[in-house]
Structures are given as structure tokens and as C-alpha cells.
Structure 1
Amino acid sequence: MVAGQRRGRRIMMTDAERDAYLAEQRTCRVATVSADGRPHVGALWFTWDGTSLWLYSITRSLRWSQLREDPRVAVVVDDGVEYAELRGVELRGEAVAVGETPRTGEPCPELAVPERLFAAKYFAMDTMPHDGRHAWLRLTPQTVTSWDFRKLAVPPAA
């Protein structure tokens, strides 16, 4: 179960708004930490299936090695230039590897939906290309925080 957002309820996205936003955005920033506390943040492509965020990461990356030691992760997807345009979603929880590492395309029913969504989003294809260098990480968030400052221009409901 995802913990509720306590602050900023006026600018919080509804579930439908969040799902649509995550479906249209292309890049997220993934924060990990090493065993000795060194943080790392990097950009990554992703897909959202309505429940989990799926990250397709190079397996020889610092991100991957840090997640093997400590699976805790924070991910931010945001956009906007002017203050009144800012919106985004932060998801926190533990990343879990799914499928073979690295991914070569072996049958994995759990990856059918994320691979279809990812292939359509980034490659305009029906099937996922595999390069033997990337693998899947699934983040089923324990906490989700969202904001859409565009809502500040709308008077609150009475």
C-alpha cells in the first residue's frame, strides 16, 4: 500500500492525473546510495504500468551495483519551466531486478506488459529490442508524492 501524501493536497495529482503524467514523460532521475553513504543520481528511461515504475538500466552501471548493496531508491519525474508550470512525481521504495541480468529476451511473463509499454514509448515498436547490456528493475513504490503547480491558478472548490 502506498502511503498518503500529507502536504500539498491542493496541488497533489489524482491517481488518473499521475498515471497520465507518467505515461507521457520520458525521463526520470534515479537516486541510489552506496554502502558507505555516497549518493548517485542519474537519468533513465522508464515506463509506468499503473502500479510499478519499470527502469531499464545498464547492468554495469554504478546504479546497478549500488542497488545490489542497498535496494532503496528514490525516483523523480518532473517538468515545467516557470513556477506556475511545475509538476512532478516522486516515488520511493525498493528496486527489484526482474528477468535475466542482463536481459537477452528469454521468456518472462512478468515483463510482457512493461516491455510492450517501453517498446511503444521509446522505439515505436511492438516488441522490445534486447542488447544483452540492460536489465529491468521494478519499483513498486512505498510512498508517492506528486505536485502540479498549475492547480494553484484554479480557485479551490468551496
Structure 2
Amino acid sequence: MSAGRTKVQLTEDEVAGLLGENLKVQVAANGHDGHPHLTTLFYVVREGKIAFWTYGRSQKILNLERDPRVTALVEDGVDYFELRGVSIEGRAEIVRDYETIFDIGSAVATRMLNAESFEALGDFGRETVEKQATKRVGVIIHPDKVASWDHRKMT
């Protein structure tokens, strides 16, 4: 790793902080024709891993069933010297267990709506997640390689 690269690399705590501060992840899976299929999803961090839920019949799930290799990107900043991010290469675990899907969906909904807790979303929130969980699957990204950067460290 070059000295410049080392200088901007995030520590483990900084990676955890960046993932905790952001809501959306770009996920790239391999499409059937070999081209990357890129999507943006709301996510949560579970046991240090990015997790999200999505419709079980979506193109991204079809792609991940065929080839579980995945790349995920969480980044923020506008100006060059503000850019920071985490890129994760790994394998997607598709979760079909209702309780785990509900758990991931509850956590995602809570974060999306900036609620204090899932219970704060009330009966409507619970019923919505319960219904959606029957149509969705969970995905947990198991990292093989993590790259990170924080251009604020350059100044």
C-alpha cells in the first residue's frame, strides 16, 4: 500500500462510524450478461456487516442467487477534500428466514424514518414491516476485502 493511500485509510472505528452515519449503500452484483448490476438500498449494520432487505424476485436477488459475489460502497462528501468512503468486496448471504427478514426490515425502517425505536413507528409501522417481510429476503454482506478513504486527512 502506498504512503498516500495509508494516510487516507480509515481506522476500524472510523469505518464503523461512517457506516453508522449513512443510510444508503450502492450494491453491485454480476448481471446475467456479465455487466455489473448496480442498485442503491437502505441498510443497517448487523454484527459489523452491512445488511438490507429487498424483494425476493428482484433482479439483484436473481443475480446474487447465480453469483453471490458482491461489492458495496458507502460514501459521502461533496468537495474532493471531503470525500470519504468504504468499499466492501464480499459474498452475499441471502436470508429467507421470516424472523431475520423482519428483524432486518424493522431496523431499516427505523433508520429510514429516523425513529428512536421500532416501537415508535406504532402499529402501522409494525404491520407494514410484517406484510413486507413476507415478500422480501434479507441480504447480509460477508466482507472479503475492505478499502476505505478519507480525503479530509489530506489537508
TM norm structure 1: 0.79
Q: Residue in 1 aligned with 2:153?
A: 151
Partner of 2:112: 122
Contact 2:28–2:36 (Cα < 8 Å) also in 1: yes
**Contact conserved, 1:35 with 1:70, CA < 8 A, in 2?**
no
Q: What is the count of residue pairs matched by the alignment?
A: 141
Match of residue 122 from structure 2: none
- Structure 1 match to 2:26: 29
Q: Unaligned stretches of 5+ in structure 1? A: 1-5, 101-105, 154-158
Q: Secondary structure at the match of 2:99?
A: coil
Q: Deviations over 1:3-29 (max 9, x none)?
A: xxx351111111111101101101111
Equivalent of residue 75 in structure 2, options 74, 78, 83: 78
Shift of 1:55: 1.9
Query: Gaps spanning 5+ residues in structure 2: where?
Result: 120-125
Q: Deviations over 1:116-155 (max 9, x none)?
A: 54343123242562313221101010111010100111xx
Partner of 1:107: 99
Return 142-151 or 43-52, whichever deviates more.
43-52
CA distance, structure 1, for counterparts of residue 47 and residue 82 of structure 2: 24
Is the contact between residue 52 and residue 105 of structure 2 (CA under 8 Å) also seen in structure 1?
no
SS at match of 2:48: coil
Amino acid corresponding to residue 87 of structure 1 in structure 2: R
Structure 2 CA distance for aligned equivalents of residues 111 and 10 of structure 1: 40
Match of 1:98 in 2: 95
| TM-superposition CA deviations, 1:63-117 (whole Å, max 9, x none) | 11000100000011111111000010001111011233xxxxx434x975x4554
After TM superposition, where is structure 1 displaced by more than 3 Å over at least 4 residues in a row? 114-117
Match of 1:65 in 2: 62
TM-score by length of 2: 0.80
Residues 3-14 of structure 1 mapped to structure 2, 5 A cutoff: 6-7=1-2, 8-14=5-11
